[in-house]
Amino acid sequence: MKKDFDFLIVDGTYLTYRSYYAMLYSKAKLTNSKGEPTAAVAGFLNTLISLQTRFNFKYIVFAFDAHAKTFRHEIFTDYKANRKKAPEEFYFQLTLIQKILESLNFKVIIENGFEADDVIAKIVKEYADNEKLIFSADQDLNQLINNKTSILKKVKQEYVVINNDNFREFYDFNPNQVIDFKAIVGDPSDNFKGVEGIGPKTCAKMLEEFGNVENIYENLDKFSEKISQKLLEFKEIVFKNKYLATLRDAFTLPQIPLEELDFQNFKITEKANEFLEDYELKNVKNKLIKLILN
């Protein structure tokens, strides 16, 4: 499945979590001689090397969550409140990954008040004409899929590109209905409560016929009394869910010329070499050198 894509947008927060927990479950306890954890760092960089080797991207950018709470927390105080906080060694490596990426001349974008998903939505809007591939397993990003934007996921050790053409092979609704589906069904990972008694299959049928939440509520008389009553009972929650699930792109990011995102800018700078040596990432360093030479 090798293809030259214009643009790779990496959900850096997702990839850090994925790398950290993959190594944790494999019991691969990697540290340097000072005892500082490096497993997630190695996993993150190895994935980056694998992606570039396989897909040959021209441009690349990394988006991360801000440390501060977002506008979603201000509106919904229990937003993601059910998630267990990662241990300190995760955050140590998260910060280190960001520093290493910047030292390798990659662009790392973090915007206070917004999540990595929102930053990615903004990047998609800013570079609308480029063929973009988003690397993430976050279902919310599926709403960004269009003729120029696809999602790259890893499923059972295989890379899968999900786009406009094959989206319905994986889901029972369209990309532009992602937020409507989540609004009605809910999402435990974000602590969103859905409409009781309406599951994924029923919701998908409703969206197939009426398109979105607004039209569903304009046609309550088309449903059974039981379904209509449940929709009315949960109406406030449904519209709040949709508002929160909608990715934001109406904020300002520093203007980044496309040439600054060119993969050709990638190099092992003196600072990058210092990081790789201090954290004893010799194998990763050798792979990065090979990537440059190729």
Q: Tell me the whole-structure pTM to 2 decimals.
A: 0.93
Helices (H), the chain: 12-25, 39-55, 71-75, 88-103, 116-126, 167-170, 178-185, 200-210, 213-218, 225-233, 235-245, 270-278, 282-293
Measured CA to CA, the distance from residue 44 to residue 47 in angstroms comes to 5
pLDDT value of position 4: 52
Question: Going residue by residue through the chain (294 aa), what tens digit of pLDDT does each one get?
Answer: 445 578 999 999 999 999 999 887 776 789 999 999 999 999 999 999 999 999 999 999 999 999 878 888 888 787 787 888 889 999 999 999 999 999 999 999 999 989 999 999 999 999 999 999 999 999 999 999 999 999 998 777 788 999 999 999 999 999 999 999 999 999 988 888 999 999 999 999 999 999 999 999 999 999 999 999 999 999 999 999 999 999 999 888 888 899 999 999 999 999 999 999 999 999 999 999 999 987
* Domains, the chain: 3-170+254-286 (3.40.50.1010), 175-245 (1.10.150.20)
- Residues 124 and 256: their CA atoms lie apart, in Å, by 13
Pull the structure tokens for residue 97.
Answer: 């990954």
Taking 3-state DSSP, the helix, strand and coil percentages for the chain, each rounded to the nearest 5, stand at 55, 10, 35
Residue 7 exposed, middle or buried by CB count within 10 Å (0-12, 13-18, 19+) = buried
Q: Which pairing describes strands 7-11 and 59-63: parallel, antiparallel, or unpaired?
A: parallel
pLDDT of residue 156: 76
Identify the pLDDT of residue 2: 45
The pLDDT of residue 26: 73
